[in-house]
Amino acid sequence: METMPFYTQEYQAWLMQLATENIARGVIEEPRVYFDNILLDAAPLETISGSDIFKNGERFPVRLTHMMLMVNTGTQAEIDAGLLTDERLIQDVGVQLRFHDQFYMNPDFVAAPLWATQPSVSPPAVNQSTASWRFVRPVIFSARDTLQVDVQLITPAVTATPVNVTFTGVGVSSKRPYFLNGQIALFDGAVRTIPTDNFRNDGAEPILITDMVVNIAGALGSDNPSGDIRNLRIQVKQLGNGTQATWMIGPTSPSNLGVGAALLGIYTGRVIVHQFPGTGLLWEPGEGLDVVARRLSGVNGKISLGLGLAGYSVVG
């Protein structure tokens, strides 16, 4: 897998070359995150991810480059029922990927912290509230395209909670930076859509979308201006060009977006980020694997493990 240089002229040249080749060949590459929330009881019980969740159910191949791990928070009712939400409990989780009697990384469960292969923690001032994801392949955003971004609070506050989502990129023709930002205030646990006109490409040139940043602030009027990124769920879909499919694939329902926004902290955030060696995993349509997790100690109490596999689909 090519390395991703930082924002330099070489990086921009690489972006342009990639985009030009893709446009010429008619190839669309879209971000994908396969996710699940696995409920873990005390050791030695092993829990397997939901069936067919980590599976390429589309008609196009998907390349997966990263895996993310975190301890989810929960609703007050779940916490009252005994769900443990201490993030430090990630140290007590072992994970394994299974594919037809093959194991990654090991037949023994490897402790979650050891899956981290790169530093990916944002500065303390924004670490609690922000998750950022640099796409391995930029998204070609055509003129008049927009993004449908749905957000949902897990535990609403008494007052409204501002949520910001930003997509950054560069113009294919002008090479200038683009900054598409949308904001919404959430006051309950319902799924809300950030107005799509905030993300619309109103220009005359395609935009290469390279990054996505999600931020949640403290509830209005609270002492702490920084929110908890674990308290937010998110879903994204491109409208116009692209596959029109949701980028995050996993157990969702109309009232529950499923994927925690914190899991998107692949570039910087507060989750464990594992970069697969070499070129990562390539899933042809129908291929997939199982994720198995277990607690490493017999300490009582359930935790919800948030796990994601991130990459991109290739639509030829």
Partner 1 sequence: MAEMNPPTGPNGGFLYEPRSIWSVASVETNDDVLPDSAEFARVVFSRNELRNGQRWPVILNRIAIMAVNYLYTDPASTFTSPRDAGASFLSRVRLRIGVPFRQSWSRFEILTSTYRPAPTYAEPTVTGPYSGLFGQVRLNYDKPLYMPRNGAIEMALSSPSDVSSFGPPQNNVFGTAGVTSIPTNIAYLEEGGLLPGSARSKRLNLNLSQDPNQHPNAQGIPYMLPPNFGPATVNNGVKFWDARHTFNAREFNQREATRAGSTKQLGVGIAMDQRAYDDALIALFGSSGQIAPLSMRVGSRVKTSSFGSQADWWRPGAPLALTFDTISPAVVYHFPQPITLQPGDSLSVEALFPGPAYAASFGQVTAGVENAPNYALGISFNGYAAIEG
Instruction: Label residue 95 exposed, middle or buried (CB < 10 Å: 0-12, 13-18, 19+).
Output: buried
Count of residues near partner 1 by CB under 8 A: 39
- Residue 181 interacts with partner 1 (CB under 8 A)? no
Residue 189 to residue 117: CA distance in whole angstroms: 34
Chain positions 50 to 109 lying near partner 1, rule: CB under 8 A, are 87-92, 97, 99, 102-106, 108
Question: Do strands 192-194 and 146-153 pair parallel, antiparallel, or not at all (unpaired)?
Answer: antiparallel
**Tokens representing residue 172 in the block:** 């294919």
Query: Is the Cβ of residue 32 or residue 270 nearer to partner 1 in the bound state?
Result: 270
- Residue 2 interacts with partner 1 (CB under 8 A)? no
Contact 309, 36 (CB under 8 A): no
Sequence-ordered list of residues with C-beta below 8 angstroms from that of 163, at least 6 positions apart, any chain: 151, 183, 184, 185, 186, 194, 214, 215, 216, 217, 232
Query: Is the Cβ of residue 94 or residue 206 nearer to partner 1 in the bound state?
Result: 94
Query: Is the Cβ of residue 90 or residue 264 nearer to partner 1 in the bound state?
Result: 90
φ/ψ of residue 309, rounded to 5? -120, 120
Residue in the structure block whose two tokens are 């646990």 = 189
- Residue 43 interacts with partner 1 (CB under 8 A)? no
- Residue 173 interacts with partner 1 (CB under 8 A)? no
Contact 43, 294 (CB under 8 A): yes
Query: Is the Cβ of residue 224 or residue 244 nearer to partner 1 in the bound state?
Result: 224
Q: How far is the CB of 182 from partner 1 (least distance, A)?
A: 26
Residue 265 to residue 45: CA distance in whole angstroms: 29
Query: Is the Cβ of residue 47 or residue 226 nearer to partner 1 in the bound state?
Result: 226
* CA 132 to each of CA 12, 147, 248, 258, 284: distance values in angstroms, whole numbers, following the listed order: 19, 17, 15, 18, 27
Q: How far is the CB of 54 from partner 1 (least distance, A)?
A: 13
Per-residue x/- mask for partner 1, residues 127 to 166, rule CB under 8 A? xx--------------------------------------
Contact 34, 54 (CB under 8 A): yes
Query: Is the Cβ of residue 11 or residue 104 nearer to partner 1 in the bound state?
Result: 104
Chain positions 253 to 272 lying near partner 1, rule: CB under 8 A, are 269-270, 272
Contact 313, 121 (CB under 8 A): no
- Residue 300 interacts with partner 1 (CB under 8 A)? no
Per-residue x/- mask for partner 1, residues 226 to 255, rule CB under 8 A? ------------------------------
Q: How far is the CB of 119 from partner 1 (least distance, A)?
A: 4
Interface stretch with partner 1, choices 5-13, 240-248, 274-282, 308-316 (CB under 8 A) = 274-282
Query: Is the Cβ of residue 84 or residue 220 nearer to partner 1 in the bound state?
Result: 84
- Residue 14 interacts with partner 1 (CB under 8 A)? no
Contact 290, 49 (CB under 8 A): yes
- Residue 281 interacts with partner 1 (CB under 8 A)? yes
- Residue 196 interacts with partner 1 (CB under 8 A)? no
Residue 249 to residue 129: CA distance in whole angstroms: 23
- Residue 304 interacts with partner 1 (CB under 8 A)? no
Residue 304 to residue 51: CA distance in whole angstroms: 17
Query: Is the Cβ of residue 120 or residue 146 nearer to partner 1 in the bound state?
Result: 120
Element (H, E) at 302: strand 302-315
Using CB under 8 A, list all residues that contact partner 1.
87-92, 97, 99, 102-106, 108, 110-114, 116-121, 124, 127-128, 269-270, 272, 276-281, 296-297
